[in-house]
Chains A and B, each alone.
Chain A
């Protein structure tokens, strides 16, 4: 594959043999027609693989019968939007939307607000315990859900917070807060230290510097941290499936599962709901994805 992916080599004997008569030499970055075609072919295959499962879901959502997925050919003749109408009118779709938004937005707001000062402190200051704090922040990133789910379930039942939005928000904050602190540290690192110094020279306290100078400059970073918390909380499955019990408080991740039970599988409705959820979320994702990646990989720490 590598031969198609990097620019084809200029002939090595260029200097010696062909010095006398000028010959058509491929310039840097130019490829032969064959290499171009191969690149396009590979990318088209990959794009189809990426697109097909989602396109298939959309296609199935147009079939009116719950067993239409077995006979996709018949859908063409009876395509309809009835599933969408039914989902919007006769299911808990809007309840689920409300729950999903409350939980995701709650996590986002708390996560960003709590993490902001810490991100700044670990970006600018070295204090005893700094390394330990960074280590704790790193380790909380890799908690498998199996570690916290049992004790959280016990604690939340004692506090009567099972089947409660606040309970789920608190659980999500256990990952969102350390994560936002990481991400924000990365962003604060890119803001020049000279700004802090100027603020200090002009007599601001460290808190004043942070709130008056750095925080307004860090708005894009705060937004990225917020988007990331939102998307993670929105797509979380394990905690939501376990802690939300009444079907009007399900988030989308749980509600979607409820279409398929042991007795019945309303696949057509499920597909329609899935499409309705996926469209706004993916649109939102495309708006922010460029920032997400830089935040994730370049927003690191040294030491």
Chain B
């Protein structure tokens, strides 16, 4: 453990004194840190009320058979009491092992993994390529940069509709493919092409963020490292492999993690591109939404159970990722 100094109080942390008893520790802690606790109180309250309480309530709902027919609701002037009951872990068992579990969960699970891996890979690869191109002395560099950021600047819910017009049957993309005598797939109807289109649109939306972050990382690499490598006779590839990539490591590990979380949770692209029409192209998040709000009766309990499972997957993944980074002696920038 590194020795950190609490600069506000001048206290030194890290050199351990014998541990006093619990009551004493609480009292000391209160006296020493009460202003810290007072300062974090607003956020603690907000998180408690707006995040932890709903999370606990959601966890409870997953242990019941709640749906829109048996939860409390008001129809006109009649108040109807909730009648759902506690059924234990049945929802989870049903999702993971129940009949047709493959169609309902595992197929979406596999597609979500493929979706996340392909999208983040493409985001990173294209983003790095463009960042390297933009990092040269080049005429019109600022101009290119401004245009390339456009997909990030325009809200996703706007651009996805632009893509929908282009991908529609008879839209510009198929018209263009037809003019070139290429096959014209049904982008918004056929499962494989739906998935292809979803990845394409999401890649288009996500590259600018990677590009801009990596460009920042490239610019912070010390130019003298390149000079030294050149003096030692390193080829362009060797300089890229041994100077650029290590220099980008901390930025990369952060943006890749962010990219994975955001892509895994990506809702807007698939929801707006297909609506309710593409059951096979739904990733787990949109599928959970469809169970809870896109069908009748609304299956609240299963939808919430999907949510909890998704969160569990993300937390497990993130802790492994951090541990893996720590083993490689890297710090995550977030």
Contacts and interface: CB of A to CB of B under 8 A. Distances in A.
B158 A144 contact: no
B63 to A, nearest CB: 13
Question: Interface residues of A: mostly helix, strand, loop or mixed?
Answer: helix
B265 A144 contact: yes
Contact of A147 (B165, B235, B307): B307
A125 B333 contact: no
Interface residues of B, number: 120
Contacts of B197: none
B66 to A, nearest CB: 8
A88 interface: no
A21 interface: no
Nearest to A11: B233
Interface residues of A, number: 116
A301 interface: yes
Contacts, number: 341
Interface string A119-152: 0111011111000010011111111111111111
Nearest to B130: A46
B58 A151 contact: yes
Interface in A185-221: 193, 196-197, 200, 205-207, 209-210
Interface stretch (B30-38, B113-121, B180-188): B30-38
B328 interface: no
Interface in B12-60: 13, 29, 32-33, 35-40, 42-44, 46-47, 50-51, 53-55, 57-58
Contact of A270 (B161, B171, B314, B334): B161
A7 B234 CA distance: 12
A56 B33 contact: no
B261 A289 contact: no
Most buried by B among A173, A257, A293: A293
Nearest to B300: A150
A303 interface: yes
A217 to B, nearest CB: 15
A173 B47 CA distance: 9
B292 A150 contact: yes
Contact of A145 (B47, B139, B213, B265): B265
B265 A47 contact: no
A82 B194 CA distance: 33
Contact of B39 (A9, A70, A121, A241): A121
Contacts of A222: none
Question: 5 shortest A-B CB distances, which residue pairs?
Answer: A300-B333, A146-B307, A146-B288, A151-B58, A147-B307
Given A40-B140, A301-B333, 9 more contacts: A6-B240, A56-B162, A69-B172, A70-B171, A115-B43, A144-B288, A146-B310, A297-B216, A300-B331
Interface of B: 2, 4, 6-9, 11, 13, 29, 32-33, 35-40, 42-44, 46-47, 50-51, 53-55, 57-58, 61, 71-73, 126, 129-130, 132-140, 144, 146-159, 161-163, 165-166, 168, 170-172, 175, 204, 208-209, 212-213, 216-217, 226-227, 230, 233-237, 239-240, 244, 251, 254-255, 258, 261, 264-265, 267-268, 271-272, 284-285, 288-289, 292-293, 300, 303-304, 306-308, 310-311, 314-315, 318, 331-334
